[in-house]
Structure formats: C-alpha cells, structure tokens
A = this chain, B = another copy of it.
C-alpha cells in the first residue's frame, strides 16, 4: 500500500524514507553492482562488464510508477528493475548486458535490499537505545531512594522507589539492545542463492562470490535463506521486544501522567505539543501515544511474518514471502515510533517526587527496600559512566 496520510503522521522520518522507492532502489542497485564486482573478481564475468554495470548503476534512473505497474503484472519488482538496468548497461557496453544479474534471482535482490534498508534503522536504534538507557539509568540513580507507590493489578500495593521503576526500564532496554545486536549480526545477511537457492550457475565459486558480496555490502555471509526465514524472523521478533518494552514504559507513563496521579510524564507540557483541536488547553502525552500505537501494531505484524514463513512452499513462497516484504517496513516503522518515544523520555522525562509522596498513603506501610534497585544499578554500570 502507498503511504496513507494517517500512517505518515506516526512515522519516524528516517525510518519512513529507509524503505521508500529511492532508498530501496539504491539498495537493489548496490546488490547488482556488488554481485557483478564479485563475479568479476572470481573470473565469472569480465571485469569490463562489472565496470559497465557499475557505471550504469550510477546513471540509471527509474520511472517509479511504471516500475510499480509492471512489477504488479509480473508479480515481482525485479523483472522490470533488471530490464531497465540492463538497458542502461547496454547503452554503455552492449556486450556487458548479458552479464548483469548473472546467477541471481528476484529473491536475492529483494531480500538483500530489505536487509540493506533495515541496517541503518538498526544502527540508529542502537544509538537511541543507548542514549535512552543512559538517561534512564542516571535518573534511576538519582531517584534511587525516592519513594513511590508500587501498584499491582491497577491497585496500590506496597511502596517501591522511583529508582527501582526506572532501573527496571533501563535494564529491560539494555537487554533488548544486546539481543537486537546479536540477532542483527546473524539476521542482516546477504541473500544469494540463484533460481532455487543452489547457486547452480556458479558451481564451486558460489560461496566465494557470496562472501564478496556480503563483504562489499557490510552484511553477514551465510547460505541462502530463500525458504527458511528463521534467522531473519529472530531479528524481527527481537525488534518486537524493543517495541514491547517501550510500550510497557509508555503504558506506565500514561498511567502516572493522569491528572489524578501526576507522578511522571513523558515530557513537560509544552505549547504546541499534544494539543487538541477541540480543547487547546490540552497537553496530551504524544510520546506515549507513539509507543503505544506501535505496541498495538506489532503483535499483528509479527503474526504476519510468522505465518508467512510457516506456509512457505518449496524453494520460494507464493504469497507468504510477498506479505513479509510488506510487513518488514511496517515493523521497522513501529520500531521507529518506539524510538521517538524513547528519545522523548531520554530528553525530557518529568518526575514529581512530591506527588509520589502524596500518593503513597494508599499503600501499606512497608518501607521500600533499596537492595533491588542497587542490584539493577550494578548491572547498569556500563551505562552510568
């Protein structure tokens, strides 16, 4: 689907453009150029052909509307894409054209391009997560002993400290960050298998070509994953964990920021943020809104990629994989919204120790223990330097 206006208003701009036609076409071109260079280096195609392809790639331009229309007829974007690129190669060096895309297939291009587009999003996520964890860990240390009501099943329980709540948020995000990095290392892999995944046209040189492409593109090298998406799914699931944690934090903040509670807010009320068309005085928790909308979307998106991967027929799916190609940019979009929220609280989280104290009365008298928060702060030491 094209961008609905409503979806655009929830998007993180860099994550939005990461999968739009210019970026995605660039990634597809990067794959074709890296493929040609690798095949030339391995003596499979002439160096001159690779050079012509590199040159064509720099100059080629696409009529996106025509591309989309033809992609739809063909059931694959790569047929019209290669046709256009081939024409550009032919214009430079006619004999080079038949060396373009050699040994490769639709899925190689599209999956590799998807990994390439996702990569900067994950890099940005890593940075945003680090900043948020640092900020929350510091606030946790600062409010290590600030008493506040612990609440279970939406009712007052016994006291905790604000530092404990903050340290938990930070700890969960730190775990998510590490897990995401691990999964990205395996899941952001080049896709290269040829028609049915056997690299049948490259013979014993297949793995060497693949390795070169991976190196050139900054992706992991791994056997093709046309029909088994588990490394990739693991990465998507772990994006889902970040969205879950951000959603949980936002849920807490939306509750703590109620007028009757008033203990924390995602950010101070500010002119021009969180207004209402009917009630200009309102200051809605827009940061929370983004994280909660993302959290509401993610379970369905993960369901889509799991079901698609499980009904994947033979050497390439009819339907399930194509649904994934739609879902992955949406999954990245939900991650982007979660990061928007984390950026907000990293910069502007409001903590009102006075209101916390005032609300404590509803809890039992048990004194809050500091041991639990200290244990977590110990684990967060790397973020507290």
Contact assessment for B371 and A204 in the assembled complex, using a CB-CB cutoff below 8 Å: yes
Q: Per-position contact with B for A268-281: 1 when CB-CB < 8 Å, else 0?
A: 00001111111101
Contact assessment for A77 and B6 in the assembled complex, using a CB-CB cutoff below 8 Å: yes
In the bound complex, residues from chain B placing their C-beta under 8 Å from that of A2 are 3, 7-8, 11, 16-17, 19-20
A210, chain B: closest CB distance, angstroms: 10
- Whether a CB of chain B sits under 8 angstroms from the CB of A82 is yes
Interface of A, helix, strand, loop or mixed by DSSP: helix
Please report the C-alpha to C-alpha distance between residue A101 and residue B317 in the assembled complex, in whole angstroms: 40
Of the residues B197, B368, B376, B379, contact of A160 by C-beta under 8 Å: B197
- Whether a CB of chain B sits under 8 angstroms from the CB of A87 is no
Contact assessment for A326 and B258 in the assembled complex, using a CB-CB cutoff below 8 Å: no
Looking at chain A, what size class is its interface with the partner chain?
Answer: 35 or more
Contact assessment for B289 and A171 in the assembled complex, using a CB-CB cutoff below 8 Å: no
- Whether a CB of chain B sits under 8 angstroms from the CB of A382 is no
- Whether a CB of chain B sits under 8 angstroms from the CB of A372 is yes
Contact assessment for A299 and B307 in the assembled complex, using a CB-CB cutoff below 8 Å: yes
Please report the C-alpha to C-alpha distance between residue A229 and residue B175 in the assembled complex, in whole angstroms: 11
Please report the C-alpha to C-alpha distance between residue A290 and residue B320 in the assembled complex, in whole angstroms: 10
- Whether a CB of chain B sits under 8 angstroms from the CB of A311 is yes
The residue in chain B whose Cβ has the minimal distance to the Cβ of A265 is B155
Give 6 A-B pairs besides A5-B24, A164-B197, A330-B330 with Cβ atoms closer than 8 angstroms.
Answer: A202-B369, A230-B244, A237-B241, A295-B307, A300-B304, A311-B311
